[in-house]
């Protein structure tokens, strides 16, 4: 079983719509959680950290459910430029040995 699991998608989203997707992690000792964005053939870039209380950054909302060991990302008012692969990333310890999920591909269409 993978340590971080994501639905690979693609999620086909009409422009302006809302899309949400989750990832699950298996290691209950995981301490830090992130969503990274990766455009085709580009490097991953940090989208947002995920905090226990949930957090919002503009049109993006992240939630963490430690009891069920999942993280969610919601994108409101989707833009064409939101088309990308969204990587769920977990950090088990105080260091930075990040564990990546396989990514969820989102395609926003006009």
Q: Which residue ranges make up the site for another protein (CB under 8 A)?
A: 2, 4, 31-32, 42-46, 49, 87, 91, 93-103
Contacts of 10 (CB under 8 A, 6+ apart): 105, 106, 107
Count of other CB atoms within 10 angstroms of residue 60: 17
What are the φ and ψ backbone dihedral angles of 2, each rounded to 5 degrees?
-70, 150
Shortest CB 77 distance to another protein, Å: 25
Shortest CB 14 distance to another protein, Å: 28
Residue closer to another protein (CB basis): 81 or 96: 96
Residue closer to another protein (CB basis): 22 or 76: 22
Closest-CA residue to 66 (of 13, 103, 28)? 28
Shortest CB 16 distance to another protein, Å: 30
């Amino acid at each position: 079983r993978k340590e971080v699991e994501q639905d690979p998608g693609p999620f086909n989203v009409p422009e302006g719509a809302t899309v949400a997707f989750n990832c699950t992690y298996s290691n209950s000792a995981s301490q830090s959680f992130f969503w990274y964005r990766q455009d085709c053939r580009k490097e991953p870039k940090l989208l947002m950290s995920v905090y226990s209380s949930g957090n919002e950054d503009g049109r993006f909302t992240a939630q963490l459910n430690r009891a069920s060991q999942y993280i969610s990302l919601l994108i409101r008012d989707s833009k064409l430029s939101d088309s990308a692969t969204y990587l769920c990333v977990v950090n088990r310890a105080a260091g930075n040995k990040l564990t990546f999920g396989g990514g969820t591909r989102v395609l926003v269409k006009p």
